[in-house]
Structure 1
């Protein structure tokens, strides 16, 4: 008898919310949680630009015996609130929201799996922690103890790095803010399958799972389950801003002191092989796994992809 047979609830996550703040006010961020809620070993799984925390269901089910697995819906997506001001749909706001969530979780150890945007958020968090450490004054015996910081550990960067290829960004920009509505769920599945062909081969149930939480039924129509305004700050990026962001991301990446697993789709149009090799050169803690026949981004749903991540996180040889 499997663990899921003994405990049917192990196959479904718990849903909770945390209140976060932005310059425009407050908003709730939803998160899906798997495993023992008293487990202080936490794994944060953070999704891509238009996706939700439910992308990690299969990975979370596998790792729940070892971790308290927490998969947020980043603000503006899924069951989370939408921001009043769409200018807030940027990495610094997402980092602030995740810090609020981490403060609630109080992890003793914190590992990270970030797909695309989720990886950028992880790097943003790392950079913020590095800057905070540099800014700390010399202690005189007062204040919080030294070990009360964020215990950021191993990081999986799923098809993302400090340098992003323009072709991939343009492809994503072409559909992210476009309103879509369909008369049936099957039509929504066909649409997701068409714009996400780079995810690689999936069976029909797999494509339904990849659609179920990014489309929602409203008034008899299936529509995108995210705030279309997330495309607005995405579209405002110019070359100068991209270069400044790239510099900060490289610094953040180089500040990672724990093991890093770079997962790259062999056909990725966002993370090039050259950038992946440069990442290996710049951080001796990093290693690379390439997923054959897949572009941007591996979904971490197949057994072989999950096993690579599992072995890396649990300390075995992938």
Structure 2
């Protein structure tokens, strides 16, 4: 999608701290939305961005929600890709089953196939599309193929109690209600993370929000296919 939109927009795709080519944190307890938000605000200032169309999938959407709720934010339009203030328990259990867990293979092809199977809810894709999606997620280190992120990003996740989770959800609802720019909520029809009920509540709470559902996709739509890219292109016009 970034390549498809760069003919019209200056596109920035940051590796959030702990992922990809960004640094790892010495204290993993800072792998949280407040830290990520602070980094994105700093990045926006560094790039002298006056206005931004924000596309956020899952965690990126959470960051975008909080950013767009801030006074003086720079978000012109916001796409929340399969995420909202409430994250369903089934998705949390699924994510906890693999995020930060051991992942190492001597063969890149096998590693990619394993990662593709984990990401099966993204929908059906060709081999070349899977390579574009997940190839950059793999890193060769010590003769093994591993995931290109700090396994410790799961530490704060595993430390969340039901009380903390509830407080976090309430805070996210407050942030969402405060957003004053147009919002498009994209839901994978088979998503276990963003429910139909949550989408309905979001649209009822904030009149600037509209929604669309993508069939035969779970969490989350990959926005690598032309028909999905067009959704973003049209909304950002």
TM-score w.r.t. structure 1 length? Answer: 0.73
Q: Post-superposition shift, 1:219?
A: 2.4
Q: 2:2 aligns with which of 28, 53, 60?
A: 60
Query: Of the candidates 141, 145, 149, which is equivalent to residue 222 of structure 1?
Result: 145
* Deviation by residue 1:131-161 (Cα, 9 ceiling, x = unmatched): xxxxxxxxxxxxxxxxxx4322100000000
* Corresponding residue for residue 183 of structure 2: 260
Q: Cα offset for 1:286?
A: 0.9
**CA contact under 8 A between 1:179 and 1:224: conserved in structure 2?**
no
CA contact (8 A) 2:56 2:64 kept: yes
Q: Which residue of 2 aligns with 1:183?
A: 106
Provide, for residues 155-211 of structure 1, a one-character-per-residue CA deviation record: whole Å limited to 9, x for no partner. Answer: 000000001100001100110011111111110111111111100000011112222
Counterpart Cα distance in 1 of 2:219 and 2:172: 19
Partner residue of 1:273 out of 196, 203, 210: 196
Name 2:228's counterpart in structure 1.
305
Q: Which moved more, 1:182-191 or 1:291-300?
A: 182-191
Partner of 2:159: 236
Gaps in structure 2 of 5+ consecutive residues:
none
Paired residues of 1:87 and 1:232 also in contact (CA < 8 A): yes
Deviation at 1:61, TM superposition (A): 1.5
Query: Matched residues in 2 for 1:218 and 1:121: separation?
Result: 30
With 153-162 and 201-210 compared, the bigger mean Cα shift is at: 201-210
Q: Which has the larger Rg?
A: 1
Instruction: Give the corresponding residue for 1:111.
Output: 53
**1:237: Cα distance to partner?**
1.0
Q: C-alpha separation between the residues in 1 aligned to 2:66 and 2:235?
A: 22
Structure 1 residue runs without a partner (length 5+): 1-58, 131-148
- TM-score normalised to structure 2 length: 0.97
Structure-2 separation of matches of 1:169 and 1:84: 25
Structure with bigger strand share is 1
Summarize deviations over 1:250-304 as a string: whole Å, max 9, x none: 1111111111000000000000000011111111111111010000000111101
Pairing partner for 2:34 from 71, 92, 95? 92
Question: More deviation in 74-83 or 206-215?
Answer: 206-215
1:102 equivalent among 35, 40, 44: 44
Q: How big is each residue's C-alpha offset from its partner over 1:90-126, in whole Å with a ceiling of 9 and x where there is no partner? A: 0000001001101011123211000000000111223
The runs of at least 4 aligned residues of structure 1 exceeding 4 Å deviation read none
CA–CA separation in structure 1 for the residues paired with 2:143 and 2:159: 34
CA RMSD across the alignment: 1.0
Name whichever of 214-223 and 94-103 sits farther off. Answer: 214-223
**Counterpart contact for 1:188–1:211, Cα < 8 Å:** no
What whole-Å deviation, never above 9, does each CA across 1:47-75 have from its counterpart, x for those lacking one? Answer: xxxxxxxxxxxx11121122111010000
Distance 1:62 1:204 in 2: 19
2:20 corresponds, among 78, 89, 96, to 78
Q: Say yes or no: does 1:122 pair with 2:64.
A: yes
